Amino acid sequence: MPLLHLFDLDGTLMYGSSSPAEISRQLGVSAELAALDRAFIAQEIGPHQFSVAVHELWAGLTAAHVRAAFDGAPWLAGIREVWQEIRRRGDYCAVISLSPSFFVELLLEWGADAAHGSVFPEVPFTRPVEAAGILTPLGKVTVAEQLRARFGVTREDCVAYGDSVSDAHLFEAVAVSVAVNARPYLAERATHVYEGRDLREAYQLLEVARPGVGTS
């Protein structure tokens, strides 16, 4: 049975940063974004309120800003190599993130089989954010279930990679989990824990624990 690898984006594939932070840096509104992040982490606002607020904050956003944010982000090393190896083995890899879909979907260019984010209007914005399209932590599990059905795998054949409490529900829903540069709450609940800047090293943990997984 093939494996389905489910990757968070912010703080997981990206070291010490997030797509909203990188986009906000391009627009010169990093301080405002940091205030929203603090409110979100403190659970003073939820995913939809956060998304509405960043949508307003990014009023002048263009496709060029998005591309610059993506290209300049502090990605972990080895992402494309790991995904190439996953697909070479006949397994699948997908990204599920609370971040805007227009950013998350750029990772399809790197070889992800699927990429799901919160549904934002197309850039430049001409429409508001709709609550129904904003992912929540539980919504990540719903997307994972849809992907399981699409690729024909069971929960026992799923591996989740994440870094924060927003990944906790997904970690509970799969057989194997890898905490990547994670907060203590999530690390304590993970099958494996990785600290570093190379996804190839995190992926290697699966080979050690499960013979045949992650090997050439």
Q: Residue 156: is it exposed, middle or buried by C-beta count within 10 angstroms (0-12/13-18/19+)?
A: exposed
Cα separations (Å) of 213 from 7, 34, 94, 178, 190?
A: 16, 39, 17, 14, 17
Alpha carbon distance 142, 138 (integer Å): 7
| Tens place of pLDDT per residue across the chain (216 aa) | 899 999 999 999 999 999 999 999 999 999 999 999 999 988 899 999 999 999 999 999 999 999 999 999 999 999 999 999 999 999 999 999 999 999 999 999 999 999 999 999 999 998 999 989 999 999 999 999 999 999 999 999 999 999 999 999 999 999 999 999 999 999 999 999 999 999 999 999 997 555 444 333
Both structure tokens of 9: 């984006």
Alpha carbon distance 162, 144 (integer Å): 13
Whether the CB-CB separation of 54 and 21 falls below 8 Å is answered with no
Alpha carbon distance 163, 185 (integer Å): 9
Alpha carbon distance 10, 212 (integer Å): 29
How, if at all, do strands 4-7 and 158-162 pair?
Answer: parallel
The residue among 160, 170, 103 whose CA lies nearest residue 140 is 170
As beta bridge partners, residue 96 has 116
- Supply the pTM of this predicted model: 0.93
